[in-house]
Chains A and B, each alone.
Chain A
């Protein structure tokens, strides 16, 4: 697969799965207003996924619906972070914050992508992502600066999610070309910017930045045991009749 497609599959699959996981809070949010806000952000992510799949379709891949609902786990290029079950509220907040920070850094780099349609999409998404990050920062600050239980739960969630979040910057054989073709900045550079962004927000609340090696594999199609059941669930209706028109 060429470098551009590899990059687009990473972007699309990350967005599709994190969006899907976050919709699992719809109707179960901690408070009505947050239920609506979190669900709405999940819709944003699914919208981004659809746009990235459409770019792949322009490059000769099958329709966006087929890409989302008719591929098996091994074909997915998402980082393992987005596959993990939603956990408690602290877990989802920690994941969303770390993910959104990475996405906003990545979108910044993508606005300069040599693939013009991708650069245009990135410029369009950057406003939504700004809000997502504001939302995440607010929750981290509140739960982290809160009393014993909220702080302890958030620290535990950060300890769990941080190594997986480092896996968002995993590289594969495609990365040399991704950089040399000017499609995106090097993952190592994005990771540096990401750490610069998340570290002060986390430490300011008195939470500890976990020190653990990255958990990788997603970018080469190696996934956790959580992905296949998630796909079974998400793809069930489509696969019942893949030829149906909706």
Chain B
């Protein structure tokens, strides 16, 4: 049972132009316009903010938690992680040769 007749809108907050919008929470609202109005006072009252996004929670396509095992790594895949490469060391060595 929904706790209100109003829909849930997820709120995304941008701290400065060019930065990513980060998900900060949600509000109940009758439509997107009101969601923006209400989100401003819930989520941009203290933090610096230049822009807000609101998205109807119902419009979000989410994966199923029952499938969360698909994210698990069955074998060692540390080679995918950037720290697995000795790039920094190599680059410094090259710079030294100049």
Task: Tell which of A33-41, A74-82, A107-115 binds the partner.
Answer: A33-41
Q: Is A135's beta carbon under 8 Å from chain B?
A: yes
Least CB distance, A177 to chain B, in whole angstroms: 39
A32–B26 CA distance with the chains assembled, in angstroms = 12
Contact across chains for B42 and A33 when beta carbons are under 8 A apart: yes
A142–B38 CA distance with the chains assembled, in angstroms = 14
Contact across chains for B37 and A135 when beta carbons are under 8 A apart: yes
Partner of A40, one of B4, B6, B33, B41: B41
Contacts of B45 in A (CB 8 A): 40
Contact across chains for B30 and A36 when beta carbons are under 8 A apart: no
Contacts of A141 in B (CB 8 A): 33
As a 0/1 sequence over residues 118 to 149 of chain A, the CB contacts with chain B under 8 angstroms (1 = contact) are 00000000000001001100110110000000
Contact across chains for B4 and A31 when beta carbons are under 8 A apart: yes
Near B by CB (< 8 A), chain A positions 40-64 give: 40-41
Near B by CB (< 8 A), chain A positions 1-50 give: 31-34, 36-37, 40-41
Contacts A36-B42, A37-B42, A40-B45 known; A31 to B37 CB distance under 8 Å? no
Contacts of B6 in A (CB 8 A): 31
Least CB distance, A90 to chain B, in whole angstroms: 15
A34–B30 CA distance with the chains assembled, in angstroms = 12
Near B by CB (< 8 A), chain A positions 135-182 give: 135, 138-139, 141-142
Contacts A40-B45, A131-B40 known; A33 to B27 CB distance under 8 Å? yes
Contacts of A138 in B (CB 8 A): 33-34, 37
A37–B38 CA distance with the chains assembled, in angstroms = 6
A6–B69 CA distance with the chains assembled, in angstroms = 71
Contacts of B29 in A (CB 8 A): 33
As a 0/1 sequence over residues 2 to 22 of chain B, the CB contacts with chain A under 8 angstroms (1 = contact) are 001010000000000000000
Contact across chains for B41 and A37 when beta carbons are under 8 A apart: yes
Closest to A131 in B: B40
Contact across chains for A33 and B28 when beta carbons are under 8 A apart: yes
Partner of A34, one of B31, B33, B38: B38
Least CB distance, A147 to chain B, in whole angstroms: 12
A31–B6 CA distance with the chains assembled, in angstroms = 10
Contact across chains for B41 and A142 when beta carbons are under 8 A apart: no
Least CB distance, B23 to chain A, in whole angstroms: 17
Task: Show the binding face of A for B, using Cβ within 8 Å.
Answer: 31-34, 36-37, 40-41, 131, 134-135, 138-139, 141-142
Enumerate 10 A-B pairs (CB-CB under 8 Å) in ascending A order: A31-B4, A31-B28, A33-B27, A36-B41, A36-B42, A37-B42, A40-B45, A131-B37, A138-B34, A141-B33
